[in-house]
Structure 1
Amino acid sequence: MYLLRLALASLANRRFTAFLTAFAIALSVCLLLAVERVRTEARASFASTISGTDLIVGARSGSVNLLLYSVFRIGNATNNIRWDSFEHFANSKQVKWAIPISLGDSHRGYRVMGTNESYFEHYQYGRQQHLELADGRPFATDPFEVVLGAEVADALHYKLGDKLVLAHGVATVSLVKHDDKPFTVVGILKRTGTPVDRTLHISLGGMEAIHIDWHNGVPAQGAGRISADQARNMDLTPTAITAFMLGLNSKIATFAVQRDINGFRGEPMLAILPGVALQELWSLMGTAEKALFVISLFVVLTGLIGMLTAILTSLNERRREMAILRSVGARPWHIASLLVLEAFALALGGSVCGLALLYIGIASAQGYVQANYGLYLPLSLPSTYEWTLLAGILGAAVLMGTVPAWRAYRQSLADGLSIRL
């Protein structure tokens, strides 16, 4: 115990250098734990980009491709699904709710999605969180109403009542626009940190209305054009959709319904479990995740090397101190233990300060990160893995402390008391 008191007194005597060394370790520890928290929560957040949905169904293709265009609005479907096929499964006794999705148009680089009122009622993200409106209301009976994601509204400076024109296709710059049928902004969703923020939501009737006078991918000309008022009075039931999401009455029925869909004879379709497909997609990005963790480990190593450098540099200045300790009865292993304890104290102080910085950072940025990136960072105690990382840092500090300890151990009493020119 007296060696520990002596080590702390020695550090207090060199408080400025000790503070800078501990602070460097604290920053590296904070970075390491922050990266680990973000990695863990990003994986959980990514896996919950869509939650509460049992199956996603689309034209037969790959599971990752279906997930990308139906949830992340990336890429395009290989084919559409007939409306009667959707109704067949939506009306099944095992299905609790169904959300149809129709894609293919855009607005200034943002995807447009056609759906119905079930989307606002049943779609969930994160930890079973429902969509909420920041302003306005969902689209209603008028087919030419649009509900904007938060990012679309902020980036394009739209507000309730504004008019906008959708473009055909998903290119950033489109030469073909549905300018004869403008939409009115009736609602703006709260930010979710998911692809919902980057989507314009219209009704399936609205999606059908803007294409009602199109033939073979080309708009009608002259007398063949159908105005917005004429379209409102027409049957706007879609003939095909891009995909649909299903919520089932029982989780036990998931695999049975999936088999029924995949074996459906009406047309080739694919049903995927969102969680499984998300994990498959995440595994493709595992290299970047590991690289980020390795970089943070090297930052911690840099902080520990800085501590080692500071202790080694101070040895020449402390030769007389070590010799005096030897002269009053301290044994060589006492001197070595003193330096190891100093290294341990610096690492421990840095680790505690690093934890404090981490929690201060999480507390101050928690709301902003969740609102803008959909990433929930909990103010929870360190996990078992994080405690293991901290123990590893302390062990590495003790191991590095043995280097100056060995040098001090070999210094002689005469060397410390003699005047070196």
Structure 2
Amino acid sequence: MFNLCYKSLLNRRFIAALTVLSIALSVALIVGVERLRTEARAGFANSASGIDLIIAARGNDVQILMATVFGVGTTGAGISWDSYEMIEDLPQIIWTVPIMMGDNHRGYPVIGTSEQYFDHFRHSGGRQLIFAEGVPFKSPDGAVIGAKVAQAFGYTSGTEIVNAHGSGEVAFDVHDEAPFTVTGVLGHTGTAVDRMVFVSLEGFDALHEEPASEVADPFVLIEAPEVAGEHEDHDHVELDEPDEHEEGHQEHDDRHAHGSGHEDEGQTVTTSDGHDHDGHDHEPGTINAIFAGLEEKTAVLSVQRQLADHRDEALTAVLPNVALLQLWSITSTAETALRLMAGAVAVAGMIGMVVMLSASLDNRRREFAILRSVGATPAGVFSLILLEAVLLLSAGIVLGVIALSALTRVIDPILAANFGLRIGVGLPSFREVLLIAIVFCSGLLASIIPALRVYRMTLSDGLLVRL
């Protein structure tokens, strides 16, 4: 029966090939849409793992999430450094990371932050960021780049890069006079971090300040006040009276007694309240957002309420997982549209198969009559049509899966480069297998229509063919 079915399809190879192609297209589209949807959600969730709260000026939660975690858009208004220190001192919060945005490097977002970002940021279910080479930035003109940025431009440690104002491909002001030096390259994460450039708060803020003197390099301005201060202190010691000198010692002792003294720049200071402080001397005027970690997850509502009641600034504390749910609710319409389109293609493929099988029945009535004459029963001829449908469906499904795998290998680097999204090539998931099974069963049920018609024809025709 199988050999007879194969030769029958081979005799109608052109129409059979078109049918297999339409089924393959429907399978590739249905599975591809599901895989893209699943991997997109997983990629977004992996990028936001490890962050308990994202604190920013009051605005849309989804917009804040997209801007701070994925580098898409902006948060709008900024947060004062006083508010940052207030948030840092909340008893429920154990660590904070400031975030500054608004620049780009050749289309890739630039993030101003502290070294604590690399200690506390997590991805892919709790994995810590790892340096493929180099170290975090130690100076205002240092920069750390993601794996995709390094791959796209061939950057390594020691490479000088130039940033510009604006987001995306828009560059309002290119800072050729203030290049950053790459000090480290992050390992591949498969998240938006791969497409980011990280610089220190000092370096980021220096590019946006109006210089008080005609200095070519804005990074020099960061060092200048400290140098001037050292000279002033030196002169002050020589000229001032001894009682003022002792007063300076008293102030120094008071700071130590309070427990809020700072160590060297770039080091983490753990105070008596258990908080991790960055220990940097530079205080920018405003920042865009704050990543925060909580001592207890149950303290989320308490922190949100305190920030909502903060009178100095209108602040909001975004829960990344909740914001992601809001994002899925926004994109659900697009997902539904894609699924409907994939389903329509699948239905078209099934209809094409039924039409192909039905259109050839009248021309095959003599074939069926001969089969009956050599002992085939109506049920046997019925099974022959179903077996043909099984072969067409199986060939279409296999071809569709192979085509999807080949297409995925081609578009995966493109999606990773432009959207930080990876589909991945691997074995179909349970849900994908379920969708393939639904396509197969639907095609098999659709093939019953021409099979029943053959069954009735063989019963009425017998050995007589109606011309």
Residues in 1 aligned to 2:199 and 2:350: alpha-carbon distance in whole angstroms: 56
State the AA in 1 paired with 2:344. F
119, 124, 127: which one aligns with 2:125: 127
Counterpart pick for 1:357 among 397, 402, 413: 402
Which residue of structure 1 lines up, in the alignment, with residue 5 of structure 2? 11
Aligned to 2:313: 267
Count the aligned residue pairs.
406
CA separation of 1:127 and 1:406: change in aligned 2, threshold 3 A: same
**How far did 1:278 drift?**
1.8
Question: Structure 2 CA distance, aligned partners of 1:107 and 1:362?
Answer: 30
Q: Residue in 1 aligned with 2:219?
A: 228
SS in 2 for 1:260: helix
Matched with 1:147 is 144
2:240 equivalent in structure 1: none
* 2:161 corresponds to: 164
Residue 316 of structure 1 deviates from its aligned partner by: 3.9
**Residue of structure 2 equivalent to 1:306:** 352
Question: How far apart, CA to CA, are the structure 1 residues paired with 2:305 and 2:291?
Answer: 15
Task: Please identify, of 284-293 and 155-164, the stretch whose mean Cα deviation from structure 2 is larger.
Answer: 155-164
Residues in 1 aligned to 2:161 and 2:28: alpha-carbon distance in whole angstroms: 46
Residues 62-211 of structure 1: pairs in structure 2 closer than 5 A: 62-140=60-138, 142-170=139-167, 172=169, 174=171, 176-211=173-208
Q: State the SS of the aligned residue for 2:382.
A: helix
Query: How many Å separate the matches in 2 of 1:175 and 1:32?
Result: 42
Question: Offset of 1:248 from its aligned partner?
Answer: 1.5
Residues 1:207 and 1:313: Cα distance change in structure 2 (over 3 Å): same
% identical aligned pairs:
40
Letter of the aligned partner of 1:12 in structure 2? Y
Q: 1:172 and 1:339 mapped to 2: Cα distance?
A: 57
Deviation at 1:328, TM superposition (A): 5.0
Distance 2:170 2:395 in 1: 56
What is the RMSD of the two structures over their aligned residues, measured on CA atoms?
3.5
The 5 Å alignment of 1:374-393 reads 374-375=421-422, 377=424, 379=426, 382-383=429-430, 385-393=431-439
Give the deviation of 1:66 after TM superposition.
Answer: 1.6
| TM-score, normalised via structure 1 length | 0.81
Amino acid in the other structure paired with 2:178: K
Give the deviation of 1:207 after TM superposition: 2.0
1:276 aligns with 2:322: yes
Residue 115 (structure 1) shift: 0.4
Residue-by-residue CA offset, 1:363-384 (whole Å, 9 max, x unaligned): 978996996544364856642x
Counterpart among 320, 324, 331 of residue 285 in structure 1: 331
Residue pairs, 1:334-413, within 5 angstroms: 334-348=380-394, 350-351=396-397, 353=398, 357=402, 373-375=420-422, 377=424, 379=426, 382-383=429-430, 385-411=431-457
- State how far apart, in whole Å, the 2-side matches of 1:155 and 1:195 are: 14
Cα distance in 2, alignment partners of residues 256 and 106 from structure 1: 36
More deviation, 242-251/155-164 = 155-164
Residues 193/309 of structure 1: CA separation in 2 closer, same or farther (3 Å cut): same
- SS of corresponding position for 2:4: helix
TM-score (norm 2): 0.74
Pair 1:94–1:156, CA change in 2 (3 A): same
User: What letter matches 1:210 in structure 2?
Assistant: L
> Aligned partners of 2:169, 2:37: CA distance in 1, in Å?
32
Mean CA deviation greater in 203-212 or 407-416: 407-416
Shift of 1:119: 0.8
* 1:25-67, Cα deviation, whole Å (9 max, x unpaired): 3453244223212222222222332111111000112212222
What per-residue deviation string (whole Å, max 9, x for no partner) do you get for residues 195-244 of structure 1? 323322111121233344x1xxxx54648x77533422545332321110
Alignment correspondent of 2:370: 324
Q: Structure 1 stretches of 5 or more lacking a match?
A: 1-5
Q: Does structure 2 conserve the Cα–Cα contact (< 8 Å) formed by 1:60 and 1:270? A: yes
- Residue type of the alignment partner of 2:41: R
Contact 2:156 2:182 in 1 (8 A): yes
Alignment correspondent of 2:265:
none
**Structure 1 pair 145/12, CA: closer, same or farther in 2 (3 Å)?**
same
Q: Would the aligned equivalents of 2:366 and 2:465 in 1 still touch at CA under 8 Å? A: no
Q: 1:111 to 1:338 in 2, by over 3 A?
A: closer
Larger deviation, residues 67-76 vs 342-351: 342-351
**Contact map agreement 1:327 1:413 (CA 8 A) in 2:** no
Contact 1:362 1:377 in 2 (8 A): no
Alignment deviations for residues 342-374 of structure 1 (CA, whole Å, 9 cap, x no partner): 3245435644x3686389669978996996544
Note closer, same or farther for the CA distance 1:99–1:175 as it changes in structure 2 (3 Å cut): closer
Which deviates the most, 24-33 or 58-67?
24-33
Mind listing any 5+ residue stretches in structure 2 that lack a counterpart? Answer: 227-280
Q: 1:154 to 1:41 in 2, by over 3 A?
A: closer
Partners of 1:402 and 1:325 in 2: how far apart?
Answer: 19
Q: Quick check: which has more Rg, 1 or 2?
A: 2
Cα offset, 1:117, TM superposition: 1.0
Asked whether the 8 Å contact 1:147–1:185 carries over to 2, the reply is: yes
**Does the 8 Å contact 2:65/2:323 carry over to 1?**
yes
Summarize deviations over 1:119-151 as a string: whole Å, max 9, x none: 1112122333332333322111x1111112334
Q: Is the 8 A contact 1:33 1:358 kept in 2?
A: no
The separation in 1 between residues aligned to 2:433 and 2:103, in whole angstroms, is 49
Q: Deviations over 1:240-297 (max 9, x none)?
A: 2111011222222222222222222342210010111122123222233223222322
SS of 2:447's equivalent in the other structure is helix
On the 8 A contact 1:160/1:185 being kept in 2, the answer is yes
- Does the C-alpha gap of structure 1 residues 168 and 299 become closer, same or farther in structure 2, counting only changes over 3 Å? closer
Q: Check the 8 A contact 1:193/1:370 in 2, yes or no.
A: no
Distance 1:58 1:157, change over 3 A: same
The verdict on how the C-alpha distance between 1:350 and 1:243 changes in structure 2, with shifts beyond 3 A counting, is: same
Cα 1:227–1:326 change in 2 (3 A) is closer
Q: Does the CA-based 8 Å contact 1:164-1:184 persist in structure 2?
A: yes
Residue 389 to residue 171, structure 1, CA distance change in 2 (3 Å)? closer
Q: How far, CA to CA, are the matches of 1:11 and 1:369 in structure 2?
A: 43
Q: 1:101 to 1:397 in 2, by over 3 A?
A: same
Change (3 A) 1:29 1:151: same
- Partner amino acid, structure 2, of 1:146: A
